[in-house]
Amino acid sequence: MNPDDVLLNFNPGSLLLLNVVLGLIMFGIALDTTVDDFKIVLRKPKPFVVAILAQLVVLPAVTFGLTLILPVTPSMALGMLLVACCPPGNISQVLTHRSGGNVALSVSMTAVGNVIYIFMLPLSIAFWGSLHPTASTLLETVALDPWQMLLDVFLIIGLPFIVGLLIRNRFEKFSRTVQPFVKWFSLIALVGFIVAALAGNWQYFIAFLGVILLVVAVHDAVALAIGYGTAVAGGLGTRERKAMTFEVGIRNAGLGLGLIFAFFDGLGGMAIVAGWWGVWDIIAGLILASLWAARTKRRTGSIKGDASRHARVGGADSAFGEPS
């Protein structure tokens, strides 16, 4: 059985539900976003510039190389590229907090980054996919229209984000009250949706289990390493390195899955890669964040190290991007 010849079972009603869940995720992120999050990026642009280059350039380029090395079919290769071109997942902030990283940086990068990805995601997947020696034929087969995808991405993540920002700035108290419920409900719903999608196509997942586990584990580990490595190369501090690791390593694979069913008819290799990514990167991220937190706590007595001292000395963003 060839995953390139498999179309996964997914009805239009399920796709609509997935889009609603993804919209709720972006709405929840916006409810936790303030104007100050954008101002921080303007005051301290270096971490964000490093992060956005890692996500928009380094990760897709390295992923492109992995698709030529790993034993993947054209549809699996295109699935890897699509995941790499997706924006960061909102659980990156949870993992950053769990590891003792710079949450302010994580929130700022997610807020500004998602605005950029509204426009860059369709263009990125069209660019990298068209360069691939085997996956490019799939793009020609489906006649991918980047502008139509841009419109869909805007409706799924852009519009809910804008609405959430407006509500946050007009009704701050209300936003703070409902944001935790929206955030966790949407996250749990997304994980449940991905698991249900895998379960509904279990025979295909089992058929390609070995290669999928290998490919996703390697790809996710490389993505996390790119986040950490680019932060080190950029001279960022320890807490900023943690934030960067999860901002680059955790991708919104649920959005990728929705786009696969909307534009690629649920193409087997793509959907299985994106679906398992959505589960595995949470598992891998939680393991890494927990190990990181335990190590920091043993060394300093607190999972945030000397973060409290920074905050007392210079304010909320005093440790934003400074080596530690």
Q: Is 134 among the domain residues?
A: yes
Instruction: Give the list of residues 6+ apart from residue 278 with CB closer than 8 angstroms, or none.
Output: 190, 191, 194, 253, 254, 257
pTM of the predicted protein model: 0.77
**According to the model, what pLDDT value does residue 89 have?**
75
Domain that holds residue 79: 11-314
Helix (H, G, I), strand (E, B) or coil at 66: helix
Number of structural domains, the chain?
Answer: 1
| Residue closest to 129 by CA, chosen among 63, 199, 198 | 63
Residues 6+ apart with CB under 8 A from 314: none
Report yes or no on 256 lying in a domain: yes
Note whether residue 117 is domain-resident.
yes
Collect all residues with Cβ–Cβ distance below 8 Å to 130 and sequence separation of at least 6. Answer: 136, 139
pLDDT in tens, 259-298: 887 778 777 788 888 888 888 888 899 899 989 988 877 7
In-domain check, residue 2 = no
Q: Is residue 244 part of a domain?
A: yes
Q: Does position 224 have pLDDT exceeding 90, yes or no?
A: yes
Q: Which of 148, 132, 127, 117 is nearest to 264 (CA)?
A: 148
Task: Say if 87 falls within a structural domain.
Answer: yes
Which pair of tokens denotes residue 107?
A: 């929130």
Q: How confident is the model at residue 303 (pLDDT cuts 50, 70, 90)?
A: low
Amino acid 314: pLDDT: 35
Residues 40-51 pLDDT 10s: 667 778 888 888
- Decide if 319 is inside a domain: no
Question: What average pLDDT does this structure show over 205-221?
Answer: 85
Amino acid at 137: T
Least confident of 34-48, 75-89, 229-243, 244-258: 34-48
pLDDT-derived band of residue 106, with 50, 70 and 90 as boundaries? confident
In a domain, 323, yes or no: no
156 in Cβ contact with 22 (< 8 Å): yes
- Give the domain CATH number at 262: 1.20.1530.20
